[in-house]
Amino acid sequence: MKNQLKETMKKRPVFGMTIYTGAPAIVESLGYFGFDFAFIDAEHSPRQVTDLKETILAARYAGVSPLVRVTRPDEIEIRKALEMGAEGVIIPHVRTKEDMEICVRGAKFPPVGRRGYDATVRSANYSAGSFNANDYIDNANETELVIPMAEDFEFMDNIDEIMNMDGIDAINFGPADFSLSKNIRIFYKMDLPEVQEALREIVKRAKPKSIGVMAPAVPPTLENAKALIDKGVNMLIMGSDMFNYQSALRSIKENAIDKYLQQMK
């Protein structure tokens, strides 16, 4: 079975949203509104990776690709996320070749990695129907995405060693933590020369290898999205459920509630 997100990426940029709440209804809505992927977070939320089963199912049901951000380079967390039905894993704070080796070992079966095998899991359809173990392993290696995060200066220091490894499907560039790792507080702004240079270097190395590049459009406007696409980004994070909810609340408060209360004075 093909990974629809991976197939779409061959034709055009793809668009998703970070999900911090873990709410299945929010993820379902992404699918119904035509988003391509749900970036389901376990790093900055109180949920463990194994708490995200229903959220992954909601994504599958609504036809939006579930990508799970685990908490760290960890073989077991990565394997569990994929076995639960995630179409890809996003791994924060990959800094060295050794970190990247952990990610590939946990996500890919031999000969690429050392992922443990079991057929009583969702990713194997619980071995139902005409299940074939060899086909399952080959399909998983081909279709499930491994996406390390470039969000530390060490990633850029070791970029050649990291990106020369097999098994990487995309790089998620995190400008906020990248700048903080250099003790610069610009958060999601992309106009700092060092941030722009890091993104350029990632794209330069990713494109010849057909490796995707993911980055956040904050705020999620056409202008910001187009600027990223022009730089070579083809996986765009259009804000998060909490950011977009907060923006809606702020707009309601300022444009309706506050104005009404002012009129009462």
Per-residue three-class SS string for 199-225: HHHHHHHHHHHCCEEEEECCCCCHHHH
Over its length of 265 residues, how does the chain's per-residue pLDDT go in tens digits?
678 899 999 999 999 999 999 999 999 999 999 999 999 999 999 999 999 999 999 999 999 999 999 999 999 999 999 999 999 999 999 999 999 999 999 999 999 999 999 999 999 999 999 999 999 999 999 999 999 999 999 999 999 999 999 999 999 999 999 999 989 888 777 778 889 999 999 999 999 999 999 999 999 999 999 999 999 999 999 999 999 999 999 999 999 999 999 999 8
Neighbours of 32 (CB within 10 A): 10
**Burial class, 29, CB count within 10 angstroms (exposed 0-12 / middle 13-18 / buried 19+):** middle
